[in-house]
Amino acid sequence: MAPAEPGPPPHPAPVVIVGAGPAGLTVGNILRAASVDCVVLETETREFIERRPRAGVIEEWAVRGLRQRGLAGNLLERAVSHTTCEFRFDGQRFRFPYTELTGAHHFVYPQPLLVTDLVREYADVRGGDIRFGVRDVRLHDLDSDRPSVSYVCPETGQRRLVECDFVAGCDGARGVTRASMPAEHARLSRHDYGIGWLALLAEAPPSSDCVLFGCHPRGFAGHMARSPEVTRYYLQCTPGEDPENWTHDRVWTELRERLGAAGAPPLTEGRLIEKRVLDMHDYVVEPMVYGRLFLAGDAAHLVAPIAAKGMNLALHDAFLLGDGLVAQLTKGDGTTLAGYSEACLRRVWDYQEFSQWLSELYHGTAAGDPFRAGTTLARLRRLFTSPAAAAAFAEQYLGTAAQY
Ligand code: RFL
């Protein structure tokens, strides 16, 4: 661990939260609601994090968790409820009415709106301390009773030190907190799918009343409504491919082909306002705790956006970590913190397994292997012929299992 450099006198706070994504802001809000002081450090600006497009699908239990903590006001007013998804394969449409089967549904609420709500509640309503645009964040003495976090202040260029009792590492997949865990303490397991997704946002109304999954020999295609004006699309592509290879015409031709099915209405086309290639991979850090550092969200585990699970897991961690820190700091009760890593990882591994299973469903027909294409089509058909297979899929898709 790097020793802190001299600078202005240290500023104490019981908890330093590194990263203002869904995980960090949820932990911060839980702490502030219990009058526990904390500091959130974020490398980007407030405007940037409030606009960064990403997730949209939130599971019901996660919304319940936000509501119980007073964080779902806008979401409950504005989120759209999704009850059905549609698979397209073999030139046909297959509707999967999961709410009819289970009584459960998905909420769709764009991540930038959730982040905007969480920052406003934390900083403007609950009076939380948040510093944007910080640089070169470093963690110190994590294995001691008095860890600290230092950063370069954007206004003065000086290194500032915050002494604390606990550090919440919520700085996502490209942050620094995970790397502060000694390699001999934490195991990083990784899985590469060898698949890329061209992630697109189109300035166009949704082309269907539900999420569409096109499982086509040319590759997977997905359609997800984000708002009445904006739709997310995905196209399976080569990992590491330059998104500029995908012209407007090529994108829409390929989407029409892969999502085409008998009786399907034409796609509503529009300007592409985001075009990025995502390399599909997963990782998990075990344990998620080192000394006084607790990782949460993508900092601890990345799940490729195949099953729309990453933000849901980030919220699950944040609920446990926020509640655990409050119990420890206000009542001296360390039970939740002691079981934190294990409790989070049970759901993490379950969601990782489902993502792998779903990946084969999405990509198997395009694997260039007739045997895999045959088993994938069998797996797809089974969802529509076997009530037991449909129920198992719905449970995992919606995250409704009673226990993880
Ligand atoms: P975030 O959201 O990445 O936030 C981390 C924050 O930390 C900041 N940061 C630092 N701050 C201080 N010091 C440093 N050294 C720092 N380094 C980074 C960053 O600027 C950022 O503000 O992590 P968090 O909170 O763990 O949340 C995770 C979710 O964002 C992520 O899992 C989801 O977006 C994944 N995901 C989806 N999840 C779902 O549950 N449902 C979905 O529908 C869904 N769709 C998606 C997705 C992810 C996608 N991409 C871009 C990979 C769709 C896409 C296209």
| Helical packing angle, 22-33 and 111-119, nearest 10° | 30
Helix, strand and coil percent figures for the chain, each rounded to 5: 40, 30, 35
Q: What is residue 70's predicted lDDT score, i.e. its pLDDT?
A: 97
Q: Report the atom number in ligand 1 closest to the C-alpha of 22.
A: 25
Residue 126: CA atoms inside 13 Å, Cβ hemisphere, count?
27
Ligand 1 pocket residue status of 137, Cβ below 6 Å: yes
The residues pairing with 95 across neighbouring beta strands, listed in sequence order, are: 86
54 Cβ closer than 6 Å to some ligand 1 atom: yes
- Spacing, Cα 294 to ligand 1 middle (Å): 17
For atom 51 of ligand 1, the residue with the nearest CA is: 54
Distance 353 CA to ligand 1 centre (A): 20
Q: What is the pLDDT of residue 1?
A: 46
Q: Is the distance from the beta carbon of residue 152 to the nearest atom of ligand 1 less than 6 Å?
A: no
- Cis peptide preceding 112, ω within 30 of 0: no
391 SS3 class: helix
Rounded to the nearest whole angstrom, what is the distance from the C-alpha of residue 121 to the centroid of ligand 1?
A: 19
Helix (H) or strand (E) holding 357: helix 340-363
Domains and their CATH numbers in the chain: 11-54+110-189+283-353 (3.50.50.60)
First vs last C-alpha separation in the chain: 35
Burial class (CB in 10 A: 0-12, 13-18, 19+), 307: buried
Structural contact between residues 35 and 328, judged by C-beta atoms closer than 8 angstroms: no
One DSSP character per residue, 12-69 reads E-SEEEE--SHHHHHHHHHHHHTT--EEEE-SS-HHHHHH-----EEEHHHHHHHHHT
* Burial environment of residue 33 by CB neighbours within 10 A (0 to 12, 13 to 18, 19 or more): middle
Q: What is the DSSP string of 161-179?
A: EEE-SEEEE---TT-STGG
Q: For ligand 1, is residue 282 a contact (CB within 6 Å)?
A: no
Residue 119's alpha-carbon distances to 16, 186, 232, 247, in angstroms, are: 16, 31, 24, 36
Q: Does the C-beta of 170 come closer than 6 Å to ligand 1?
A: yes
* Angle subtended by helix axes 22-33 and 310-331, to nearest 10: 30
Q: Is the CB of 172 under 6 A from ligand 1?
A: yes
Please report the DSSP string for 289-339 in residue order.
EETTEEE-GGGTEE--GGGS-HHHHHHHHHHHHHHHHHHHHHH---HHHHT
CB-ligand 1 contact for 196 (6 Å cutoff): no
Q: Which residues contact 370 (CB under 8 A, 6 or more apart)?
A: none
Does residue 117 line the site of ligand 1, with CB under 6 A? Answer: no
Pocket of ligand 1 contains residue 169 by CB under 6 Å:
no
Length of the chain: 404
Per-residue pLDDT of the chain (404 residues; tens, 9 = 90+): 444 455 566 678 999 999 999 999 999 999 999 999 999 999 999 999 999 988 889 999 999 999 999 999 999 999 999 999 999 999 999 999 999 999 999 999 999 999 999 999 999 999 999 999 999 999 999 999 999 999 999 999 999 999 999 999 999 999 999 999 999 999 999 999 999 999 999 999 999 999 999 999 999 999 998 889 999 999 999 999 999 999 999 999 999 999 999 999 999 999 999 999 999 999 999 999 999 999 999 999 999 999 999 999 999 999 999 999 999 999 999 999 999 999 999 999 999 999 999 999 999 999 999 999 999 999 999 999 999 999 999 999 999 999 99
Q: Which atom of ligand 1 is nearest to the CA of 115?
A: 2
Instruction: State the CB neighbour count (10 A cutoff) for residue 279.
Output: 15
Q: Identify how many contiguous H helices and E strands the chain contains and give both numbers.
A: 12, 21
Residues 6+ apart with CB under 8 A from 67: 76
